[in-house]
Amino acid sequence: MNIQEVSKRTQLSDKTIRYYESIGLIRIKRKDNRYREYTQSDVKKLNAIRLMRYVSISIEDIKRVMENPELWHTVMNQYKHEFEKMQKEDEKKRLLFDVLNESSYEALFDQSEHIIETLHDEDLFELIDYIKSPSLFSTIISTLILSGPVLGLILVTYTDVTFSNQQLLVPFALFTTILLTVIWVNYYKNRNPKLQRSNSLVSIVLFVVALIVVFAIFIIATLIQEKLILTPQSILYTHNILYLNHAFIGFTVIQVLVIIFGVYYSHKKDMDFEIFNECFKVICKYWTIVVSFNLIFLYIFFTSVSVVNVDGSIVRFSALNPRGTHVDVASVNRVSVGFTDGFFKQYKPEFSMVLTTDQFSIDIGGANFVSGTSDTYVELELLDTLYMSKGIQKIVKNQDVSACTIDIHYCNRFMRIIKNQ
């Protein structure tokens, strides 16, 4: 490329570019006709020089660094003390110096072209301000994600709730408390109220709205599912695929957040939500694929269930068998019961009751009960009595009642099932 193209891409004058060449900062190859031929590498060098000159690094020191990149941090440290003393009016230069000081010379060399090409100086410093100022939205989301152990410790201390591996709860709660303190101290120390970003309750309200929408979608989908598969004889139903409910909710949450925050970004240009806008563009571009995938996923959600009737029989649905296959109670050859244990037991049902046939097994301990009674888990006790009256084998896996962390009334019910009372 010629010098005019380089000048346009670096925003340096022809005279400045030739000056940098004359003092040896850049070395330009010449064609056979003696005209200069600038390369992509030359553009990167000139952009890096421009950024370094902006923060007042001398020509001599720039030349030292370009000849020996290992001296980068040594040179930056020489200027660090001076920049720490800068007055408020030089805040922009100090901010840029901080960014350069935290980078390697190689990173500066690679990224400077993109910065200079796409941003004017004022935009550049807006970006630096943005990067160095944490948002209220991200801080609150981090708090929600990390507050689990602390909330668990509060529940254990002031309520009757208990957890497995409870001895690990205190150190986890202490660690997350320290981490949350660091996050909020960083927020109040570095936040910039002048920035037009999500330092407002608007983004939090949108997040709550997104969760409400997801909850409504899940409730509507569940009601449609029950309408399609349940009969007056149904007593409970459960999904054949483990954690299908969680996958459905998680996938829906992601899509709703992308759509809501993507639309919000298109109106407010809030940089906190730029990633959502990029994802939203992908959804819009490939909307036929996204809609098809959602329909397939919804179909699997509706059909991958097993329904247990009041007479102990099972109706097994699947994506390949949406009408369902009726399995008589006589086909149930084993019932395995016990309290759930393991490190992640709090993410599983408290009680496991697995019905096994020659073709499949289903765990109805965490099933959805549809009998209409307010006495939760009474359906399990009724089914257990029915299966035992049919002489079906029962296997007890874990009868340690201390593993039960819910209301004692339900724990006693589970023990009666285990002991055939």
Q: Mean pLDDT score of the chain, rounded to an integer?
A: 78
366 against 224, higher pLDDT: 224
Q: Map tokens 């925003």 to a residue.
A: 11
| Calpha distance 296→369 (Å, rounded) | 26
pTM of the model: 0.57
| Residue 114, both tokens | 């993109």
pLDDT, residue 195, reads 54
Per-residue pLDDT reduced to its tens digit, 67-87: 888 888 888 887 776 666 554
The DSSP code sequence of 306-357 is EEEETTS-EEEEETTEEEEEEE-GGG--EEEEEE--STTGGGS-SEEEEEE-
Secondary structure (3-state) at 58:
coil
pLDDT, residue 338, reads 85
pLDDT, residue 113, reads 57
pLDDT, residue 89, reads 45
Whether the Cβ atoms of residue 9 and residue 40 lie closer than 8 Å to each other: no
258 against 167, higher pLDDT: 258
pLDDT, residue 278, reads 81
Whether the Cβ atoms of residue 233 and residue 310 lie closer than 8 Å to each other: yes
How large is the average pLDDT for residues 360-379?
79
User: What are the boundaries of each domain within the chain?
Assistant: 3-127, 133-195, 200-305, 328-418
pLDDT at 105 over 70: no
| Calpha distance 40→132 (Å, rounded) | 30
Q: Return the CATH number of the domain spanning residue range 3-127.
A: 1.10.1660.10
Per-residue pLDDT reduced to its tens digit, 31-57: 777 777 888 888 888 888 887 887 778
pLDDT at 316 over 90: yes
Amino acid at 369: F
How large is the average pLDDT for residues 200-228?
83
Average the pLDDT over each of 251-260, 336-345, 386-395, 397-406 and give the range with the smallest value. 336-345
Average the pLDDT over each of 90-94, 105-109, 236-240 and give the range with the smallest value. 90-94
Least Cα distance to 137 among 265, 316, 4, 295 occurs for 265
